[in-house]
Amino acid sequence: MSTVSVLEALKSFLQEKISPIIKLQKPSDNNIHDYKLVNPAIHIGWIPPKGYLPEGMEAAIPCLIVGLDDATDDGQGLELNIRISAAVYSPGLHKPVATGLDYTPDFKGYNDLLNLIDRTVAELMKNQIIDGKVAIQMPVKWGMYQEQPYPYWYGWITFPVKKQTYPTAEIARQFL
Amino acid sequence: MSFKDIIQSDLNVFFNLDEFAETHTIDGRSLNVIVDNDRLQQRSKKEYDGISVGEILFYVKASDFGERPEQGTPMVFDGRQMYVFDCREDDGVYEIILQQNRGI
């Protein structure tokens, strides 16, 4: 199983287990009063720029981004250190009033971020073998970045996964 | 008429809607401000994937605006959720730079 296949297996897992169960605010950079909730998108590697969104994807953020920190193969086993980044848009409180929505900015967007992270960690812990091929290892760690690009909020989840090692050369198998 | 009075009467000319000023909505209030479009810019924020930064620089009469805003204060400018990056006061006029983190 290639590195890309591991990332794709994790993406499919998150699309099935996380995207449908949570809705978060869609970014509205030009009109803060335009309030809409969407299911988080799942990306591999990086957030695609405008114009490169896959068909049917409403917004690049909120999202989970499946990435690779690094990988090692010691001949006995192959381990990949996975980083899932989480990004949400949460500028403040939109409260329903008779005339529509009343908006008050606040700095509580970390709640939405941590809810997304918590649900993702819970599903990873419940399903430690993904697609029958990727084995999630402990420890699973998560956190938030010290500085946040308000009204966007960013955090991360890291954990190792094991997969079958690449075949070694015949000479290495015999003599090493 | 004192020198300060002269400056104040000049401000009324600059902030006249028929001259340089435009009406913009800031935190729900309609204010006559002068937006310096030359300083409008948008750049990519390298630290965060998917985020760019937009800026607006505008001038507003301190007497119209009220208390001088502090750095980091959130401010909604024409529906855009921004925050105060810098504010200077000169002869009764605030020069305010707003920044906005935007999705790319």
Whichever domain contains B95, its CATH number is 2.40.10.210
Tell me: the pLDDT tens digits for A111-168? 999 999 999 999 999 999 998 888 999 999 999 999 999 999 999 999 999 986 666 6
Dist. CA A4–CA A105, nearest whole Å = 40
pLDDT in tens, B36-66: 865 556 666 666 788 888 899 999 999 999 9
What range defines the domain where residue A89 resides? 3-174
Q: What is the pLDDT of residue A13?
A: 97
pLDDT above 80 for B17: no
**Judged by CB atoms within 8 Å, which residues 28-87 of B form the interface with A?**
45, 47-51, 54, 74, 76, 79-81, 83
> What are the tokens at A155?
């955090």
How many domains is chain A built from? 1
Q: Looking at the 3D structure of chain B, how many domains does it have?
A: 1
The sign of the CA dihedral B61, B67, B72, B76 is: negative
Instruction: Return the CATH number at A110.
Output: 3.30.2000
Which pLDDT tens digit goes with each residue over A2-14? 899 999 999 999 9
Tokens found for residue A89: 């848009």
Q: Does A71 touch chain B (CB under 8 A)?
A: no
Percent share of chain A, pLDDT over 90:
73
pLDDT at A126: 94
Residue B70, domain extent = 3-100
Rounded mean pLDDT, A23-45: 95
- For residue A114, report the phi and psi dihedrals to the nearest 5 degrees: -70, -30
Largest Cα separation within chain A, whole Å, is: 79
